[in-house]
Amino acid sequence: MNEKQKQEFKGFAAAEIEELKKEIPRLKELVKPVAPDNAIGRISRMDNIVNQSVAKAQLSKAKVRLVRLEEALKRVDEDEDFGLCMDCGDPIPMARLKAMPETPFCVECAE
């Protein structure tokens, strides 16, 4: 991975991290329980429970993505082989690194 590609990945990862750091507190608010004495109605309460479960899943995914991006961002400078497939040594496409920053393999070797 050349220096230009590293800078591109760093910019992408930094932007994603900032977005996730904004998104995570919002999701945490959505998963807070609704007090039973809050008169919102049975149907609305059921909708709220469903929305909470969706928000919990999103929160979990956002936290995992944040950790993976932070780790990948550290590895860009520390690991001289970052962006190269551990199996064949070919460059991992930037689109794959953006989608799965933790991946050590190109698409062909991952299959």
Residue-wise pLDDT for 60-76, tens only, equals 999 999 999 999 999 99
Listed in sequence order, the DSSP H helices in 1-111 are: 3-30, 42-78, 94-99, 107-110
Mean pLDDT computed over every residue of the chain: 89
pLDDT in tens, 36-51: 665 566 677 778 788 8
Region of residue 79 (left: phi > 0; alpha: psi -120 to 50; beta: else): beta
pLDDT top residue among 47 and 12:
12
Tokens encoding 93: 């496409």
pLDDT of 35 reads 67
Tell me which residue has tokens 């929160």: 59
pTM beyond cutoff 0.85 = no
Residue whose pair of structure tokens reads 């809050």 in the numeric block: 38
Is there a contact between 86 and 54 (Cβ–Cβ < 8 Å)? no
The pLDDT value given to residue 66: 96
Whole-number pLDDT of residue 32 = 85
Per-residue pLDDT of 95-105, as tens digits, reads 999 999 989 99
